[in-house]
Amino acid sequence: MTMKPIVVAVVFDNPLAQSFDYLWNIEKLGALPEIGQMVEAPLGRAMGVGIVIKVSDHSDYEINKLKQIERLGPLPPLDTALLRLMNFASQYYIHALGETILPSIPKMWKKPDDWEKIPKKLEAARRKVAATSRAKEGFISKEQLNAEQKKALLALVGNEDNERQFRAILLQGQTGSGKTAVFLNWLADVLSDPQAQVLILVPEINLTPQLERRVMAYFPDKVMSVLHSGVSENKRGVAWFDAMSGKAQIILGTRLAALTPIPNLRAIVVDEEHDPSYKQQEGTRYSARDLAIWRAHDQAIPILLASATPSLETWMAAQSGRYEYIRLDQRAQGASLPKVNLINTRDPQHQFSPGDVGATKEKNVISKTLFKAITRNLAAKKQCLILINRRGYAPVLSCTACNWLSRCTHCTAYMVLHKAGAISKRSVLSCHHCGLVKNIPTHCPECGNADLKMLGQGTQKIEDAIEQMWPEANILRVDTDSSRSSKGVEALFQEIHNGNVDIVVGTQMIAKGHDYQNIGLVAVLDVDGRLYSADFRAAERLFAQLVQVAGRAGRSNTDGQASGDIYIETQYPEAAVFQYLLQHDVDGFLTHTAQERGEAKLPPYTYQALVHAEARSLDKAIEFLSALKGRLKDQGLMAKDLKIHDPVPKTMMRVAGSERAQLVIESANRKILQKTLEIIDQQLRQESTGRISKASRIRWLIERDPIAI
């Protein structure tokens, strides 16, 4: 009797929808195959690292022509719950299974040449970890929680009935209301089971060190895995392995951590759940928050979504009772919310006149009203935070004679002027989209005129102006440029916390999550561009950001003083965003936004997807999408529940030399949308190599639930 062959199906990190069959030789490999096992196998002319997704005794191909699995990876198999999540992500986001799973595994595990060295690496990493200190930073015990927090905790903590059930809970709390203290106490309860593991997601790398320290203060004896792109490859490899092997009880990270294998997962927290950084913008374009919710549902565990400004989707789910709803309406340290001041920049009373105290030669960099407010705040020994969402000195250089503008030759964007010391030792023009850097021309490249003018303002220019206005003040600029050139962004934040800085000028990096204790004034400059943007989510985002940044002011109430101010310079103080902000009325703003979306039939009242097309020329990309739309129409797919818009150029039409268009597909019915996307994917794949069409060389991609249209 001949033995039946063992055939395994393996997926690799490539856009091919199908898997590959291999023979499994038990003698050679020394083990039985398991689903989720990492293997090395011949792929084309080279070797590839893949994951076994199926084990059987037959193949659709000729068995004796199948190649053999070469080697086993030094990892236990990925657990079945994780594989279910990967399968879901791959289907929902229309991305091949292999290119969904493999990028989520740290590189350290995907280099077969190094597989033998792995045990040594793990050992070395263990020796290092022991040395970290564990301060009691920000520990608030159950007993120290205020009444409102205690009530929230009580509502969160599971009972015998719902402990092993899916629960989605929105914790909506004012900035500084002590949400973190509530959810860490909740997790302490979950983690009293020494087997249990919990996952905490944060939107930004910058916020992890602070939360990391706070988590450590709560759980000094537990192993924590920190996973984000700022952690070195080897460290991340070890942390990921600790999560997978159940050793780490706390897994803390940014969106990529949502795909970590966590066999004993018992609870998930998504902090600042509204944050757009949870959406992955390349590869499998998943939303880490949405995947986390799916995962909680699949594993029958609770998930807590925390925010001061919940996303409309989450807020509506809580309003309708689909999610549990817990609120914190007071600030934890007794302070009230900062006062909102709108400065109408069209009103001359706010502007400097020549000869005014504080007037600089650069007119109107900031208004006179703001100048006075900052002066008062400095005199009161409080710190100021100035938010301007643009790094560099000036967003564009122009010629006063012929109107030449510093356009990037590869992108639909202007090259930004950076003064010396920002991204280079010299002053340069730089494109923030493709990275092109050029010398600053001394004469206009078009007409030769020597009188070139800088238009607009960025962080560097504000920093300059502030230095002139308050020569005695310590000023710190925080943006991606300054965080790269100094000791890293953590050191910059530490300077602020230590009180060594009087005025901070920064981009949105400074706006979020940080628990500063001595900010008396927050100023927001140049927001108007974001009020009337083509993106229907722009107002929602701006509102969330303003609430967040306002929330950095007046957090502690040690001196019994009023709790800080936020000043916003705008030409449109009457805009809804500002009017609701004036009242700190998050629910009012969301109600208003929900109504607008409902009327316009936009998400969350409908579901959207995009087909992206990228080509050498825009015409070709549009043509490709038009043909696709035509075909769908001919096939009778444009049912009454499905809307396929006409293809349009993207807002950023040209990036790094390619031109880009998109097709928006919409339906109020998720299933119909999903079905349609699957059909599109199948059809496009038939005529493509990977995701590049054979005939026209168009690169295409399907994106589900886009967050920018």
Ligand X SMILES: Nc1ncnc2c1ncn2[C@@H]1O[C@H](COP(=O)(O)OP(=O)(O)OP(=O)(O)O)[C@@H](O)[C@H]1O
Which residues lie near Zn ion (CB under 5 A)? 408, 410-411, 431, 433-434, 436
Options 36, 106, 112, 173; binder of ligand X; rule CB under 6 A:
173
Options 395, 513, 554, 603; binder of ligand X; rule CB under 6 A:
513
Position 551 contacts ligand X (CB under 6 A): yes
Binding mask 460-499 for ligand X (x = CB under 6 A): ----------------------------------------
Contacted entry of Zn ion, ligand X, none for residue 69, CB cut-off 5 to 8 Å set by kind: none
Position 151 contacts ligand X (CB under 6 A): no
Contacted entry of ligand X, Zn ion, none for residue 296, CB cut-off 5 to 8 Å set by kind: none
Q: Which is nearer to ligand X, 334 or 690 (CB)?
A: 334
Q: Which is nearer to ligand X, 14 or 333 (CB)?
A: 333
Contacted entry of ligand X, Zn ion, none for residue 434, CB cut-off 5 to 8 Å set by kind: Zn ion
Binding mask 178-197 for ligand X (x = CB under 6 A): xxxx----------------
Contacted entry of ligand X, Zn ion, none for residue 603, CB cut-off 5 to 8 Å set by kind: none
Contacted entry of Zn ion, ligand X, none for residue 474, CB cut-off 5 to 8 Å set by kind: none
Q: Which is nearer to ligand X, 138 or 158 (CB)?
A: 138
Position 153 contacts ligand X (CB under 6 A): no
Question: What is the spatial distance between Cα 580 and Cα 262, in angstroms, rounded to a whole number?
Answer: 41
Position 509 contacts ligand X (CB under 6 A): no
Position 515 contacts ligand X (CB under 6 A): yes
Residue bearing tokens 């986390």: 292
Provide the pairing of β-strand 396-399 with 607-615. Answer: unpaired
Position 332 contacts ligand X (CB under 6 A): yes
Q: Which is nearer to ligand X, 309 or 662 (CB)?
A: 309
Contacted entry of Zn ion, ligand X, none for residue 431, CB cut-off 5 to 8 Å set by kind: Zn ion
Question: What is the spatial distance between Cα 524 and Cα 516, in angstroms, rounded to a whole number?
Answer: 17
Shortest approach of ligand X to residue 337 CB, angstroms?
Answer: 11
Judging by beta carbons within 10 Å of its beta carbon (0-12, 13-18, 19+), is residue 425 exposed, middle or buried?
exposed
Six token digits for residue 480: 């991606």
Q: Which residues within the stretch 555-594 sit at the binding site for ligand X (CB under 6 A)?
A: 555
Q: Which is nearer to ligand X, 333 or 336 (CB)?
A: 333
Question: What is the spatial distance between Cα 215 and Cα 233, in angstroms, rounded to a whole number?
Answer: 23
Six token digits for residue 271: 């902090």
Options 37, 100, 149, 284; binder of ligand X; rule CB under 6 A:
149
Shortest approach of Zn ion to residue 22 CB, angstroms?
Answer: 44
Part in contact with ligand X (CB under 6 A); list of ranges 108-116, 175-183, 276-284, 407-415: 175-183
Question: What is the spatial distance between Cα 410 and Cα 602, in angstroms, rounded to a whole number?
Answer: 33
- Angstrom CA distances, 19 to 13, 16, 621, stand at 11, 8, 30
Shortest approach of ligand X to residue 669 CB, angstroms?
Answer: 36
Options 90, 104, 172, 175; binder of ligand X; rule CB under 6 A:
175
Question: What is the spatial distance between Cα 387 and Cα 525, in angstroms, rounded to a whole number?
Answer: 6
Six token digits for residue 525: 């400059």
* Number of residues that this document lists for the chain: 709
Task: Specify whether the CB–CB gap between 475 and 496 falls below 8 A.
Answer: no
Shortest approach of Zn ion to residue 405 CB, angstroms?
Answer: 14
Provide the pairing of β-strand 452-455 with 396-399. Answer: antiparallel
Bridge partners (DSSP) listed for residue 47: 42
- Nearest partner of 18 among 62, 65, 50, 64, judged by Cα: 50
# of chain residues touching ligand X (CB under 6 A): 21
Q: Which residues within the stretch 648-667 sit at the binding site for ligand X (CB under 6 A)?
A: none
Q: Which is nearer to Zn ion, 411 or 613 (CB)?
A: 411
Question: What is the spatial distance between Cα 275 and Cα 254, in angstroms, rounded to a whole number?
Answer: 11
Q: Give the amino acid at 235.
A: K
Q: Which is nearer to ligand X, 173 or 302 (CB)?
A: 173
Options 176, 310, 506, 647; binder of ligand X; rule CB under 6 A:
176
Residue 704 makes CB contacts below 8 A (sequence gap 6+) with: 92, 93, 94, 285, 609, 677
Shortest approach of Zn ion to residue 538 CB, angstroms?
Answer: 22
Question: What is the spatial distance between Cα 511 and Cα 527, in angstroms, rounded to a whole number?
Answer: 14
Annotation-wise, does 384 bind a ligand?
no
Shortest approach of Zn ion to residue 281 CB, angstroms?
Answer: 17
DSSP state of 147: H
DSSP 524-553: EES-GGGTT-SSTTHHHHHHHHHHHHHTTS
Position 177 contacts ligand X (CB under 6 A): yes
In this structure, what are the phi and psi dihedrals at residue 108, rounded to the nearest 5 degrees? Answer: -50, -35
Position 333 contacts ligand X (CB under 6 A): yes
Q: Can you say whether residue 42 is alpha, beta or left, with left for phi > 0 and alpha for psi between -120 and 50 degrees?
A: beta
In this structure, what are the phi and psi dihedrals at residue 583, rounded to the nearest 5 degrees? Answer: -95, 0
Question: What is the spatial distance between Cα 510 and Cα 491, in angstroms, rounded to a whole number?
Answer: 13
Do you find a cis peptide bond into 5, omega within 30 degrees of 0? no
Options 244, 268, 308, 698; binder of ligand X; rule CB under 6 A:
308
Question: What is the spatial distance between Cα 175 and Cα 60, in angstroms, rounded to a whole number?
Answer: 58
- Nearest partner of 558 among 335, 261, 366, 240, judged by Cα: 335
Shortest approach of ligand X to residue 229 CB, angstroms?
Answer: 22
Q: Which residues within the stretch 384-423 sit at the binding site for ligand X (CB under 6 A)?
A: none
Question: What is the spatial distance between Cα 684 and Cα 691, in angstroms, rounded to a whole number?
Answer: 8
Q: Which is nearer to ligand X, 181 or 673 (CB)?
A: 181
Part in contact with ligand X (CB under 6 A); list of ranges 95-103, 138-146, 459-467, 639-647: 138-146
Shortest approach of Zn ion to residue 658 CB, angstroms?
Answer: 11
Contacted entry of Zn ion, ligand X, none for residue 178, CB cut-off 5 to 8 Å set by kind: ligand X
Handedness of CA 327, 329, 334, 336 (dihedral sign): positive
- Nearest partner of 657 among 449, 349, 413, judged by Cα: 413
Task: Specify whether the CB–CB gap between 68 and 5 falls below 8 A.
Answer: no
Shortest approach of ligand X to residue 697 CB, angstroms?
Answer: 47
- Angstrom CA distances, 262 to 50, 83, 241, 501, 571, stand at 20, 11, 10, 41, 50
Position 209 contacts ligand X (CB under 6 A): no
Residue 276 makes CB contacts below 8 A (sequence gap 6+) with: 541, 707
DSSP state of 394: B
Q: Which is nearer to Zn ion, 91 or 412 (CB)?
A: 412
- Angstrom CA distances, 479 to 20, 173, 530, 557, stand at 46, 28, 19, 29
Q: Give the amino acid at 353.
A: S
Q: Which is nearer to ligand X, 261 or 338 (CB)?
A: 338
Handedness of CA 317, 321, 326, 331 (dihedral sign): positive
Contacted entry of Zn ion, ligand X, none for residue 411, CB cut-off 5 to 8 Å set by kind: Zn ion
Q: Which is nearer to ligand X, 60 or 329 (CB)?
A: 329
Contacted entry of Zn ion, ligand X, none for residue 332, CB cut-off 5 to 8 Å set by kind: ligand X
Shortest approach of ligand X to residue 385 CB, angstroms?
Answer: 13
Options 68, 144, 409, 561; binder of ligand X; rule CB under 6 A:
144
Shortest approach of Zn ion to residue 657 CB, angstroms?
Answer: 8
Contacted entry of Zn ion, ligand X, none for residue 408, CB cut-off 5 to 8 Å set by kind: Zn ion
Residues at the site binding ligand X, with contacts judged by CB under 6 A? 138, 140, 144-146, 149, 173, 175-181, 308, 332-333, 513, 515, 551, 555
Residues at the annotated binding site for Zn(2+)?
A: 399, 402, 408, 411, 431, 434, 444, 447
Residues at the annotated binding site?
A: 399, 402, 408, 411, 431, 434, 444, 447
